[in-house]
A and B are shown apart, each in its own frame.
Chain A
């Protein structure tokens, strides 16, 4: 298992949810992968790239195949590709082993002398940590609602945002707590995904970044010589 890597130039994207009925960014994603190839950088997909919980096989294959082809091309061009597993794709682990990419539960990246932790972030979610089976069951159930009416995702996003704000106002934001535990262990920055809410915040002990998603956003985290920026791909 590879956990520690060095990379001067790395792009991090997360929560593509390819195959899910609300995924709508395959064409833009392919253009983005072209950009990664042109820049000679490495790529990290930080969890939930392929969605096995909320997809039909037909939609998953239709969305994933062109992306997998482009990933193979990217790897042939010399870019390293890392895949950090999330909660919607953990069962893909063995299939992903056949791709020319490194799969990992999290990555410790050294870039420009800075130590950066990249992980999906679902384990920071208190409900997921306490009841992973129930969380997965809920995810599977909501698949039917999503296929019936994709507006359900908008409702879920609003609920997520409201929960996020409430936790922050109480000073109980679990993802910041995870980041703080990692800063204490000598990390300078923590990059998570999972919540679909892009964020770049300087906390007292280090830099917290959430890579957002490729459903409502097209967020890209770029690590260049240890500097971390968050922007929208267009």
Chain B
């Protein structure tokens, strides 16, 4: 899937069961609170987002918007299993990134 610069990819609260891998360009993940946007993360080429909705079947947790012309690989639940079978290193990379996110959250909690 291709997105133009600034185009919305998913919106917070949307239903969705796919995750996305950035093939080119980049994606800004943000949340809208109290009339302002907070940028949570910038997802670069090769990284992924949207995995929470895929893994937990819950609505989208944040907005995702293309930053520059962006191409995404879309993976649904069945596709993920097939892809993991063909490319098990994807699972390790996902765990690696998710572990890093948990560590970052723990550090933010400790800093409070």
Contacts and interface: CB of A to CB of B under 8 A. Distances in A.
B92 A3 contact: yes
Contacts of B92: 3, 105-106
A186 B86 contact: no
Given A115-B45, A115-B46, A186 B96 contact: no
B53 interface: no
Interface string B58-94: 0000000000000001000000000100111110110
A117 B46 CA distance: 11
10 contacts: A3-B96, A105-B92, A108-B93, A178-B87, A181-B83, A184-B73, A185-B73, A185-B87, A185-B90, A186-B46
Given A106-B89, A184-B73, A1 B46 contact: no
B24 A186 contact: yes
Given A3-B93, A105-B92, A186 B22 contact: yes
B23 A181 contact: no
Q: How big is the A interface, by class?
A: 10 to 19
Interface string B26-64: 000000000000000000011000000000000000000
A186 B93 contact: no
B21 interface: yes
Contact of B86 (A3, A106, A117, A181): A181
A187 B89 contact: no
Contacts of A108: 46, 93
Interface of A: 1, 3, 105-106, 108, 115, 117, 119, 123, 177-178, 181-182, 184-187
Interface of B: 21-24, 45-46, 73, 83, 86-90, 92-93, 96
A119 B88 CA distance: 12
Given A3-B92, A184-B73, 10 more contacts: A1-B96, A106-B89, A177-B86, A178-B86, A181-B83, A185-B73, A185-B87, A186-B21, A186-B22, A186-B24
Given A3-B96, A105-B92, A115-B46, A182 B22 contact: no
Q: Which of B24, B73, B87, B88 has the most CB of A within 10 A?
A: B87
Nearest to B95: A1
B45 A186 contact: yes
A184 B46 contact: no
Nearest to A205: B23
Contacts of A178: 86-87
B23 A185 contact: yes
B48 to A, nearest CB: 9
Contact of B89 (A115, A119, A177): A119
Contacts of B96: 1, 3
A234 B21 CA distance: 41
A181 to B, nearest CB: 4
Contacts of B90: 185
Nearest to B45: A186
A185 B21 contact: yes
B46 A185 contact: yes
Contacts of B46: 108, 115, 185-187
